[in-house]
Structure 1
Amino acid sequence: MDHLVLEIGLAVVLIAIAGLLSARLRFSVIPFYILIGMAVGPHAPKLGVFDFRFIESAPLIEFMGRLGVLFLLFYLGLEFSVGRLIRSGRSIVVGGTIYIAINFTLGLLFGLLAGMPYKEMLVIAGITTISSSAIVAKVLVDLKRTANPETEMILGIIMFEDVFLAVYISILSGLLLSGSTSVAGVALSAFVALAFMLAVLVIGRKAVPLLNKALDIRSNELFLLVIFGGLMVVAGFSETIHVAEAIGALLVGLVLAETEHMKRIEHLILPFRDFFGAMFFFSFGLTIDPTTLGGAVWLSLAAVAVTLAGNFAAGLLAGRSAGLSAKASVNIGLTIVSRGEFSIVMANLGKAGGLLAVLQPFAALYVLLLAILGPLLTKESKRVYRLVRPLLGEERPSAAAVGPSDTSAAAASAPAAEKEG
C-alpha cells in the first residue's frame, strides 16, 4: 500500500478490531495490539498478489507511538504527585537498587550460562534488566491501581531504572562503538540525569502557585496547546540530555498533579492517551520480524523464566524494605515484569556494535512473551499471591481464631480489599 491516509485509517480499524476481540475474550489488550502489528508490519510475508503490509506509513505510526508513550506516562504522573514521590525518596532508592542489582546480576549469569561472549553478556543483561515504562503505565491505569500503596514504589523503580539506563548506555556505547569508555563521561551522564529529575520535581513543586495562575485559561483549545507545548518541550529536552523522553513526560505529569487544574487536564488528556497509546503498541508490533523468531525460542523462554523469578524476588524484597505488605510487594514484582522499548534499544545497540545476530530475534521474542505475560500476571496478581502465600509464611487466619464478630468485620471489609487489587 502506498496511500498514507488509507494506511493510517486501516491501522486504526485493525487496532479497533484487536481491542474488541480482547474485550470479548476478557484479556489484556496489549498483546493483541502487538500481534496485529506483527501480522501487517514491513517484515510480514506478502500474501500472493495482495500486499497488506504497512510500509509507507510505518515511520509516521512509529512517531504516533512515541506520542503514545508520552501521554501514557504523563497521565500516570497526573494520577500521582510530587509530594508522594518525595516522601518515599529513601525507600525508592533502596527498592530501585535492589531491583537493578538482582535483575542485572541474573542477566549476566544467564548470558554466561548461555555461553555468550562477554560483550553479548552485557547486552543481554541490559535487555533483561529494564522494564517497559509504557506497558507498566498502561497496566496501572487500566487496572485502576494508581492509588495503590505499592504504586509509588513502582514509579520510583521506573525512574531509578532510567538513571541506570543513562549510565549503562553510556558505558555500553563506548565499549561497543568506540572501543573505550570514559569514567568521567559516565559519571557526568548519571549526574545530569539525576540532577534533571530532581530539578524538575523541586522547581515544579515550588512553581505550583505560578502554574495555577498561568493555567487559568477558559478556552479548552488554548489550554491544551499550553499543556501539550510544555509536555513536548520538557520531554524533548530530557531526551537531549540522555534522559528518556517518557521520564520527562512523567515528571511533567507529577508536577501538574499538584495544581488545581489537575482534574481538567486529566479529563482532556484521556482521548489522546487512549488513541496514541494504542498506536504505540501497534507500532511496536510493526518493528518485530516474525520470520527471525524461531532461532531464539529456547534462549528467550529461558530468559523469561529467569526474569519472572528475578522480578518476583526483587519486588518482594523492595516492597518489604519499604514496609509494604507481602501482597503489595508481590504486585510490584508482577507489575514491572514487562519488557519493551528499552530492551529493543539494547538489542539494536548490539547490532550496531557487530555482535551476534541472535541478539535481535532473542530480544524481540523475549519482549513479546513478557508483553503478553506481564499484563496477564498483573491482572491475576490476587491469585498468584494466594498461591505463594504459604511459601511466604503467611497463612490465612482460620474462622475459629478470628471469632464470630471478627469474621463479620472481615467480611464487611472484603469488598474494599478486593477493590484495592
Structure 2
Amino acid sequence: MNYIVFEIGVAIALIALSGLLSAKLRFSVIPFYILVGMAVGPHSFSWWHIDLRFISSAPLIEFLGRIGVLFLLFYLGLEFSVGRLVKSGRSIVVGGTIYILINFTLGLLFGYVAGLPLLELLVVAGITTISSSAIVAKVLVDLKRTANPETEMILGIIMFEDVFLAIYISVVSGLVLSGSTSIGGIALSALIALGFMLFVLIAGRKAVPLLNRLLNIRSNELFMLVIFAVLFIIAGFSETIHVAEAIGALLVGLVLAETEHMKRIEHLILPFRDFFGAIFFFSFGLTIDPLSLGGAVWLSLAAVALTLAGNFAAGMWAGRTAGLSPKASVNIGLTIVARGEFSIIMANLAKAGGLLPVIQPFAALYVLILAVIGPLLTKETKLIYGGLERVLGLFGWRRGKNLPEKAASQDL
C-alpha cells in the first residue's frame, strides 16, 4: 500500500530541517535541499535497515518541483519589468550572444578532447552551456539583488539561452532520436519561440490598462485564482511550442510587473514561491543516483573548471559591452554558473537515444557540483572581485575608470 501523503509529509519535514541547518551554518540552502534529496531518493539505500526512500511519491514530488520553477521565475519577473527589459534590449542580445558563443564553443572543445563521438559531443556541449533558471532566480531573490543594474543582463541572458535551447534541442533531438533533421523545421521552431516571447512582452505591455481593470478584484481568493490561471496557462502553452515553461512564467511576471497590482501579487505569491521552490531542489536530488557518480568524477571536474572559466570570461565581456562596472561584470559571470534543469533535459535525451551511459552520471555530478558552488560564488562576489583586483589587476580595469558613476559605485 502506498502512503503518498505520509511520504510527502516526511519530505517536507526533511526540507524544513535542511533549511534550519543551513540557517544555523549561515550557508546557502540550495545544496542542502539537493543533498537530502539524494540521500532519500529512489536510487539511494536504506538507512539502518529502515527504508526512507521516496519511491511511490517521487513522480508527484517531481511535479510539485516543476511548479516551484514556475513560481521562482514568475516572482523574478515581478521584481523586474518589461520596461527595464526593453531599455536593455541591445545589451541583452549582445550579452546573450557572447555568453552562448564562449560556453558552447568550450563545450564542443571539451567533448572533442574527451574523445566523445559526435552525438555525445553535441549533448555534452548542451549540458555545459545552459545555466539553471531556477537556481539563478533563487539566488537573485535570496541575496536581494533583483534591483542591481547587472540583473537586467542576467535575466536577458537567461531568456536568450532559452531561444538557443529551443533551436538546439530541435537539432540534437532530430539527430539523436531519428538520425536526421529538417533545416526548415529547425528554423520554424526558432521563429515560433522568439515570436511567442516578443508577442507576450509587446501585447502584455499594451494590455496593461486592461489588466489593471480586470484585476481589480476585492476577494484575495478570486484574485489569486485568476493570477494562477494566467500563470499556468501561459507557462503550459509555452511548453507546447518548445519554449521552456519556466520562461513562460518569467514572461507573465514581467508583464504583470507593469500593472498597479504588482505589490499585491508579490505579497500573495511569496509563500508559494518559497514552498514550491524548496521542493524543486529536493526533487532534483531525488533524481540523482549516488552510486553512478564514481565513473564520471574526473570528466565532471574538468567540465566544472572549464565552465567557471567560460562564465567568468563571458560575464566580464558582456558586462563591459553594457557599460557595467567590473564588480557588476564579475557578478554576471558568477551568478549564471549554476547548471540544473536544462542540463538534465539534455542528459535524458541522450538516455532516450541510447548514447553512451556515462552521459547520465556525468550530467548529474556536473550539475550537483555547480548547484553547490554556484550560489556560494555568487554570495562571495565582492570577496572574489577584491582578490582578482589585487592579484590580476582585473585585466587592466580599475574602480571607477571610464565608467558611469552609478555602475562604478555599485556595491555587490
TM-score (norm 2): 0.96
Partner SS state of residue 298, structure 1: helix
Query: Who is 2:394 aligned against?
Result: 391
Query: 1-side partners of 2:326 and 2:101: how far apart?
Result: 20
Query: Who is 1:227 aligned against?
Result: 227
Following superposition of structure 1 onto structure 2, how do residues 53-64 of structure 1 map, counting pairs within 5 Å?
53-64=53-64
Kindly provide the amino acid, as one letter, of the partner of residue 394 in structure 2: L
The reply on whether 1:13 has 2:13 as its aligned counterpart is yes
Query: Who is 1:81 aligned against?
Result: 81
Query: 1-side partners of 2:83 and 2:381: how far apart?
Result: 28
Partner SS state of residue 237, structure 1: helix
Kindly provide the amino acid, as one letter, of the partner of residue 248 in structure 1: G
Query: Who is 1:28 aligned against?
Result: 28
The reply on whether 1:42 has 2:45 as its aligned counterpart is no
- Measured after TM superposition, the shift of residue 142 of structure 1 is 0.2
1:68-97 Cα distance to aligned partner (Å, 9 max, x none): 000000000000000110111111111100
Identity %, equivalent residues: 78
Structure 1 unmatched ranges of 5 or more: 398-409
Query: Who is 2:178 aligned against?
Result: 178
Kindly provide the amino acid, as one letter, of the partner of residue 131 in structure 1: S
The reply on whether 1:315 has 2:315 as its aligned counterpart is yes
Following superposition of structure 1 onto structure 2, how do residues 262-341 of structure 1 map, counting pairs within 5 Å?
262-341=262-341
Query: Who is 1:199 aligned against?
Result: 199
Partner SS state of residue 45, structure 1: coil
* Alpha carbons 2:338, 2:370 under 8 Å: kept: yes
Query: 2-side partners of 1:156 and 1:270: how far apart?
Result: 23
Query: Who is 2:109 aligned against?
Result: 109
Query: Who is 1:404 aligned against?
Result: none
Partner SS state of residue 314, structure 1: helix
Query: Who is 2:252 aligned against?
Result: 252
1:162-214 Cα distance to aligned partner (Å, 9 max, x none): 00000000000100100100000000010000000000000000000000000
The reply on whether 1:138 has 2:102 as its aligned counterpart is no
Query: 1-side partners of 2:49 and 2:270: how far apart?
Result: 40
Query: Who is 2:371 aligned against?
Result: 371
Kindly provide the amino acid, as one letter, of the partner of residue 13 in structure 2: V
1:289-317 Cα distance to aligned partner (Å, 9 max, x none): 00100110000000000000000000110
- Measured after TM superposition, the shift of residue 147 of structure 1 is 0.3
1:222-281 Cα distance to aligned partner (Å, 9 max, x none): 000000000000000000000000000000000000000000000000000000000000
Structure 1 stretch displaced more, 123-132 or 382-391: 382-391
Query: 2-side partners of 1:316 and 1:393: how far apart?
Result: 12
Query: 1-side partners of 2:248 and 2:106: how far apart?
Result: 29
- Measured after TM superposition, the shift of residue 49 of structure 1 is 3.6
Kindly provide the amino acid, as one letter, of the partner of residue 247 in structure 1: I
Change in CA separation of 1:14 and 1:386 when aligned onto 2, cut-off 3 Å: same
Query: 1-side partners of 2:76 and 2:399: how far apart?
Result: 34
Kindly provide the amino acid, as one letter, of the partner of residue 23 in structure 1: A
Kindly provide the amino acid, as one letter, of the partner of residue 109 in structure 1: L
Query: Who is 1:99 aligned against?
Result: 99
Query: 2-side partners of 1:328 and 1:100: how far apart?
Result: 19
Query: 2-side partners of 1:30 and 1:396: how far apart?
Result: 32
Query: 2-side partners of 1:245 and 1:26: how far apart?
Result: 32
- Measured after TM superposition, the shift of residue 396 of structure 1 is 6.1
Query: Who is 1:402 aligned against?
Result: none
Query: 2-side partners of 1:341 and 1:65: how far apart?
Result: 11
Following superposition of structure 1 onto structure 2, how do residues 404-419 of structure 1 map, counting pairs within 5 Å?
none
Kindly provide the amino acid, as one letter, of the partner of residue 333 in structure 2: G
CA RMSD of aligned residues (A): 1.5
- Measured after TM superposition, the shift of residue 46 of structure 1 is 2.2
Query: 2-side partners of 1:379 and 1:9: how far apart?
Result: 31
Query: 2-side partners of 1:167 and 1:199: how far apart?
Result: 18
Largest Rg, 1 or 2 = 1
Partner SS state of residue 243, structure 2: coil
Query: 2-side partners of 1:47 and 1:306: how far apart?
Result: 36
Query: Who is 1:405 aligned against?
Result: none
Query: 1-side partners of 2:154 and 2:109: how far apart?
Result: 25
- Measured after TM superposition, the shift of residue 119 of structure 1 is 1.0
- Measured after TM superposition, the shift of residue 417 of structure 1 is 5.7
- Measured after TM superposition, the shift of residue 48 of structure 1 is 5.1
Instruction: Give 4+ residue runs of structure 1 displaced > 3 Å after superposition.
Output: 394-397
Query: Who is 1:401 aligned against?
Result: none
Kindly provide the amino acid, as one letter, of the partner of residue 193 in structure 1: A
Query: Who is 1:120 aligned against?
Result: 120
- Measured after TM superposition, the shift of residue 133 of structure 1 is 0.2
TM-score (norm 1): 0.94
The reply on whether 1:72 has 2:62 as its aligned counterpart is no
Query: 2-side partners of 1:377 and 1:47: how far apart?
Result: 33
